[in-house]
């Protein structure tokens, strides 16, 4: 198919009358769109709650264990210079 034939085929497709749209299509799309938005909102709220719980758990763990403090030595240093 050369360029002129493709252009003619595209023009023929565009000149045709568009197919009829079912009348309930808009209502179905609005219902599905609302459901998707509610799911996204719920998922976003759950993710924020999980993040908040993780921050609280980390804060409690850090305040209990003090990970920034060096742990005490479990062995005595070698004695030299006696």
Cα gap 3→10, rounded to integer Å: 11
Alpha helices in the chain (DSSP H): 3-15, 25-65
User: Two tokens at 29?
Assistant: 């799309």
* Per-residue model confidence as pLDDT tens for the chain (82 residues): 799 999 999 999 999 988 898 999 999 999 999 999 999 999 999 999 999 999 999 999 999 988 888 877 778 777 787 6
Predicted TM-score (pTM) above 0.85: no
CA–chain centroid gap for 52, Å, is: 16
């Amino acid at each position: 198919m050369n360029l002129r034939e493709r252009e003619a085929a595209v023009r023929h497709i565009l000149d045709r009358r568009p197919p009829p749209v079912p009348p309930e299509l808009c209502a179905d799309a609005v219902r599905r769109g609302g459901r998707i938005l509610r799911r996204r909102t719920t998922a976003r709220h759950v993710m924020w709650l999980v993040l908040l719980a993780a921050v609280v758990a980390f804060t409690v763990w850090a305040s209990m264990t003090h990970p920034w403090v060096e742990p005490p030595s479990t062995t005595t240093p070698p004695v030299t210079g006696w």
